[in-house]
Amino acid sequence: MKNEEKLDLIEEITLNDGTKYMEISNMVQNGRAELAAERRLIKQVRILQLNIPHSVHVANYEKYINENFEMPDENLTKFEVWKKTPEMQNEVKMILNENHIG
C-alpha cells in the first residue's frame, strides 16, 4: 500500500551478510525492520538518531521514497533494500552530515 511517509529518524541496518547501511526512516518503517530482524530477514536494525530536522535534503529524499517505494505490510517475507540513485545517495550523505553521523 502506497503511503506518504514523513521521515524523521536515522537507522543503521545490518543485512544477514554483515553489510551495514544507513537509512532515513520513521517509526513505522523502523518497526517493519524490527519485524524483519525477528524473522531473520536481516541481522539487526538500530536507531541512531530520532527527530531529525526536516531539511531540504530530508524533503528531497522523502519525495523520492514516496514516489518510488511502498511501505511493506506486516506479512513481509523478504526485506527490500531501497535502491538509491546517485542523486539520492548524495541526499542521504547530506542528511547524515547535517546530523553529525557518518
Q: Which one, of 68, 62, 63, 54, lies nearest residue 2 by Cα?
A: 68
* Residue 66: pLDDT over 70: yes
Q: What is the pLDDT of residue 53?
A: 96
- Tens of pLDDT, residue by residue over 19-57, are 999 999 999 999 999 999 999 999 999 999 999 999 999
Rounded to two decimals, the pTM is 0.92
Q: What is the pLDDT of residue 2?
A: 61
Q: Which one, of 95, 68, 82, lies nearest residue 33 by Cα?
A: 82
Residues contacting 18, CB < 8 A, separation 6+: 43
* Residue 1: pLDDT over 70: no
Residues 62 and 6 sit within 8 Å (Cβ to Cβ): yes
Give the mean pLDDT of the chain: 94
